[in-house]
């Protein structure tokens, strides 16, 4: 059957959103059309038409043969930041985590079924992991921030998410549902999440959820580094530091 107008409209919105996310995920570099098409699953001509249309409206800009986020998104973002941006509240805590642990520290936010990294602060330890950077997105349950947030969602919401996604198809067997549920259960038990090199071998991460004024896990603080820096005895130290600062940020967000 031919899709009706409302269905076609929803498909266009979904495609435009996917294109914008693909360009955003590539920031700060310019993203070529072929990469946008590959990431979104669109044909190259369709991706190019959407990119050009978004550029005409100011949501994207051309950079040679590639694309960057445009000024219209910046203007919208400044307005939305009044409600959603907690970087001013959390930045000192991210910086302090990097200082006391020596690892790279991050603030990530939940956006639908994904997390997006907002803030990165380098630690003093000379060997670093570069898996995370500002703007990168991961599905919930992938990377320590997404594990921490997913673990503390209400049971029904968490189960509904796990029912509709198959992380193992894109992220490997280590992200099959049974293994993921075991990591989520462990996260709820101890309060912090551990990513034992599941994205890049040897690059470990730990995260703790930050809760909004309604008690929902909407952000996460996390640390990343090399495996030898995340031995079990040190995980307890890092976990306590993450929880301390995550609770502090949560309290600030609930304060009148």
DSSP 220-236: EEEEEEEGGGG-HHHHH
Within a 13 Å sphere around the CA of 111, how many CA atoms are in the beta-carbon half? 15
**pLDDT confidence of residue 256:** 64
Are 141 and 58 members of one domain? no
Count of structural domains, the chain = 2
**pLDDT confidence of residue 3:** 61
Are 114 and 214 members of one domain? yes
CB 245 within 8 A of CB 93: yes
What is the number of residues in the chain? 256
- Which residue range forms the structural domain that includes residue 140? 85-254
Are 15 and 140 members of one domain? no
Task: Assess if residue 58 is contained within a domain.
Answer: yes
Each residue's pLDDT expressed in tens, for the chain with a length of 256 residues = 456 677 778 888 989 999 998 898 887 789 999 999 998 999 999 999 999 999 999 999 999 889 999 988 887 876 666 565 688 889 999 999 999 999 999 999 998 899 999 999 998 886 666 677 888 899 999 999 999 999 999 999 999 999 999 999 999 999 999 999 999 999 999 999 999 999 988 899 999 999 998 899 999 999 999 999 999 999 999 999 999 999 999 999 887 6
Rg (CA), the chain: 19
**What values do phi and psi take at 139, rounded to 5?**
-65, 150
Task: Write down the pTM of the prediction.
Answer: 0.72
Task: Assess if residue 221 is contained within a domain.
Answer: yes
Are 125 and 41 members of one domain? no
Q: How far apart are CA 117 and CA 163, in angstroms?
A: 25
Task: Assess if residue 10 is contained within a domain.
Answer: yes
Q: How far apart are CA 242 and CA 183, in angstroms?
A: 17
Within a 13 Å sphere around the CA of 182, how many CA atoms are in the beta-carbon half? 6
User: Partners of 120 in the beta sheet?
Assistant: 106
**pLDDT confidence of residue 10:** 84
- Angle made by CA atoms 160, 23, 150, in degrees to the nearest 5: 25
DSSP designation for 174: G
Beta strands in the chain (DSSP E): 31-32, 60-63, 66-69, 104-111, 114-121, 137-139, 193-195, 203-211, 217-226
Domain holding 167: CATH number? 3.30.450.40
Q: How far apart are CA 216 and CA 7, in angstroms?
A: 31
**pLDDT confidence of residue 24:** 86
Q: How far apart are CA 157 and CA 134, in angstroms?
A: 27
Are 116 and 52 members of one domain? no
Task: Assess if residue 80 is contained within a domain.
Answer: no
**pLDDT confidence of residue 128:** 66
**pLDDT confidence of residue 8:** 78
**What values do phi and psi take at 151, rounded to 5?**
-60, -35
What are the structure tokens assigned to 238, written together? 């890092």
Q: How far apart are CA 226 and CA 9, in angstroms?
A: 46
Are 241 and 180 members of one domain? yes
């Amino acid at each position: 059957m031919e899709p009706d107008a409302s269905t076609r409209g929803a498909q266009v919105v979904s495609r435009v959103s996917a294109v914008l996310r693909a360009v955003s995920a590539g920031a700060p570099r310019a993203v070529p059309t072929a990469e946008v098409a590959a990431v979104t699953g669109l044909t190259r001509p369709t991706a190019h038409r959407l990119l050009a249309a978004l550029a005409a409206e100011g949501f994207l800009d051309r950079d040679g043969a590639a694309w960057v986020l445009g000024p219209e998104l910046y203007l919208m973002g400044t307005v939305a930041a009044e409600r959603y941006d907690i970087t001013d509240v959390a930045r000192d805590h991210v910086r302090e985590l990097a200082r006391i642990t020596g690892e790279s520290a991050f603030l990530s936010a939940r956006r639908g079924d994904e997390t997006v990294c907002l803030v990165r602060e380098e630690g003093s330890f000379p060997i670093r992991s570069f898996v995370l950077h500002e703007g990168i997105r991961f599905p919930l349950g992938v990377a320590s921030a997404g594990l921490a947030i997913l673990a503390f969602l209400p049971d029904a919401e968490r189960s509904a998410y796990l029912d509709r996604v198959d992380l193992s198809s894109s992220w490997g067997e280590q992200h099959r549902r049974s293994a993921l549920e075991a990591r989520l259960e462990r996260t709820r038990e101890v309060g912090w999440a551990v990513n034992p090199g599941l994205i890049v071998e040897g690059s470990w991460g730990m995260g703790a959820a930050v809760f909004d004024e309604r008690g929902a896990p909407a952000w996460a603080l996390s640390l990343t580094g090399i495996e030898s820096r995340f031995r079990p005895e040190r995980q307890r130290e890092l976990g306590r530091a993450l929880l301390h600062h995550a609770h502090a940020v949560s309290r600030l967000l609930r304060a009148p």
